[in-house]
A and B are shown apart, each in its own frame.
Chain A
Amino acid sequence: DVKVTQSSRYLVKRTGEKVFLECVQDMDHENMFWYRQDPGLGLRLIYFSYDVKMKEKGDIPEGYSVSREKKERFSLILESASTNQTSMYLCASSLPGTGGLEKETQYFGPGTRLLVL
C-alpha cells in the first residue's frame, strides 16, 4: 500500500512566521505535488516535482517555495505566512510511466489544516 504522510494534521502560526510543511512517501514515487484546498475553490496546485532537486510551479505558486532534497520527501515552505494562506494543504505522489493509468494515479496524504492568525 502506498503511504503518504504529512508532518502535522493541524498547525497554528502567526502572520510573518516561516512555515514548513513536510511530506514523505514510502513507495519510491518520482512525482510529488502540493495542493491547497479551499471551500468553493477546490484543489489548486501550488508546486510539483518530477525528481530530486527539480520543481515546477503550479497554478498558484506565489508566496510559496518548495524543496526536494531526497526522493521521498517534498517540503512546502511559506516564507512569510499570511492570513490568506489559511487553508487545507494536501500532498500527493505518483509513479509516472507509460502503459497504464495506475502509474498516473495520485495518492494523497491526510492533509495539514493550517491556520494563520
Chain B
Amino acid sequence: DAKTTQPTSMDCAEGRAANLPCNHSTISGNEYVYWYRQIHSQGPQYIIHGLKNNETNEMASLIITEDRKSSTLILPHATLRDTAVYYCIVRPFAGGTSYGKLTFGQGTILTVHP
C-alpha cells in the first residue's frame, strides 16, 4: 500500500470548517484513498473514500488533486465531538479477500475547541 503523510496535529474552532491534508505521492492507479477516524480509545470509524473524483457524504467531503498525489478531508462545520485522530489510508479497493486490511500510519490529531 502507498505511504501517506499527514500533519501530526491540527486545531479548529467549533463551527468552522476543518481541512485535513494528506500526501500520497506514490499512489498507484488501482488504489483508493480512505479516511477513518478514531475518537479516544473507541473503534475507528469509516468516514469517506474516493478514487479520483471529489466525494461528499453526510459526514465530510473528500477533495483529491488531479494528479492524485494528495487529498484533503473537509469537515464543513466541526463540532467538539469531531475531536479525534484522523487517518488517511491508501489501498486497493476491497474487492478481494486479501485487500481488506487497513494499514494505519500516523494520523492527524484534530482538536476542535470552543
Pairing of A with B: no
